[in-house]
């Protein structure tokens, strides 16, 4: 089993077969309604200046992923954490925390003063993780227009 020290988090700069296969395994553990990204979509994520894909590795296996989104708007640099997922086999070992810390470090480096994320209340583990890390709930309405 993974100990915290055995987990390495790094930014993906290239799309490998291993990454494509890992996302096929991980994304269904996050969303049943969105299919996992294929090579083309992953290449788009990795090539984009707006997104940074982080993966967590335990020995020879990718066991988690997180995408940081960063963009400039008139009021400053905004960053968002998206699509955080850790393989069921290693949950509860702070892999999610390590991924989030890596994202926060990059967000800071990019000049952001805060990082946003949303998580449904039913995602209990995720909500515990973010609260423990110091994310604070904001009073704001979240809207979605379905296209």
Ligand X SMILES: CC(C)(COP(=O)(O)OP(=O)(O)OC[C@H]1O[C@@H](n2cnc3c(N)ncnc32)[C@H](O)[C@@H]1OP(=O)(O)O)[C@@H](O)C(=O)NCCC(=O)NCCS
The residues of the shown chain that bind ligand X, judged by CB under 6 A, are 29-30, 84-86, 91-97, 119, 123, 125-126, 128-129, 132
Nearer to ligand X, 86 or 112 (CB): 86
Cβ(77)–Cβ(41) below 8 Å: no
- Cβ closer to ligand X: 29 or 43? 29
Closest among 23, 58, 63, 73 to 44, alpha carbons compared: 23
Task: Please give the Cα distance from 23 to 84 (Å, whole number).
Answer: 11
CB of 124 to ligand X, least distance (A): 7
Q: What is the DSSP letter of 27?
A: G
Give the residue closest to ligand X by C-beta. Answer: 96
Least CB distance to ligand X at residue 74 (A):
27
Q: Is the CB of 40 or the CB of 120 nearer to ligand X?
A: 120
Three-state DSSP at 45 gives helix
């Amino acid at each position: 089993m993974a100990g915290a020290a055995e987990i390495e988090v790094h930014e993906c700069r290239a799309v490998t077969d291993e990454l494509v296969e890992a996302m096929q395994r991980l994304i269904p553990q996050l969303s049943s309604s969105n299919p996992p990204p294929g090579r083309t979509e992953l290449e788009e994520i990795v090539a984009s200046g707006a997104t940074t894909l982080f993966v967590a590795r335990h020995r020879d296996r990718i066991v988690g992923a997180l995408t940081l989104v960063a963009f400039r708007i008139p009021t400053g640099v905004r960053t968002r954490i998206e699509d955080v997922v850790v393989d069921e086999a290693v949950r509860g070992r702070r892999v999610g925390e390590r991924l989030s810390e890596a994202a926060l470090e990059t967000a800071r480096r990019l000049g952001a003063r805060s990082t946003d994320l949303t998580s449904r209340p039913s995602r209990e583990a995720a909500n515990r993780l973010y609260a423990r890390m110091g994310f604070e709930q904001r009073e704001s309405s979240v809207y979605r227009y379905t296209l």
